[in-house]
Amino acid sequence: MLIKNIKNSVCHSKSDQRLFNLYFISFVGFCLAFISSFIFKATPAPVLFRGWGLFRGHDGSHYYFWLRSIIFDGDFVFKNDIINDSLLPETTKQLLLSQPLTDSGLLPNKYPIGWAIMLSPAILIGYLSAFVLNLFGFNYAIDGYSLPYQLAITRL
């Protein structure tokens, strides 16, 4: 019923309806493929535990800071990303925050931006997943750190 209401409010012609159907079927197909990836790839149960995440180590976090910072903060200031990353140990956070600043007054990120650019579609999938799950009563933050984002990025 919800899909039909959305379709009626968005589609004004037969070609719009065909295009909507194509996008909807593609989205459902992607969701089924995404969910089935859990069946065929073993994902460890600790993913759901607090304080554990799919980004492991410093490299993955730093590559992701480029993408997360520009999309959610609109800048390349990594200080708040380091502080808010629950997967980095406190000692590592303090070490990263104590680095000498660049000439522009920002914390450096020695990792190239290419990986973040390649994963930009995944953050959109993470956003849509979190948004839809929240419609069904879940409470995932739309911040780039919650489980839907981690799953989307590590599964693509």
More confident: 37 or 21: 21
Summarised one tens digit per residue, pLDDT across range 104-136 is: 888 888 888 888 888 888 888 888 888 888 888
pLDDT of residue 53: 52
If you average pLDDT over residues 20-40, what whole number do you get?
Answer: 68
Is 84's pLDDT higher than 60? yes
Residue 137, Ramachandran bin (φ over 0: left; ψ between -120 and 50: alpha; else beta): left
The residues spanned by each domain of the chain are 1-42, 45-156
Phi, psi of 92 (to 5 degrees): -65, -40
pLDDT of residue 47: 39
More confident: 65 or 36: 65
Q: Who's near 150: CB < 8 A, 6+ residues apart?
A: 47, 53, 54, 55, 126
**Cα 116 to the chain's mean position, in Å?**
11
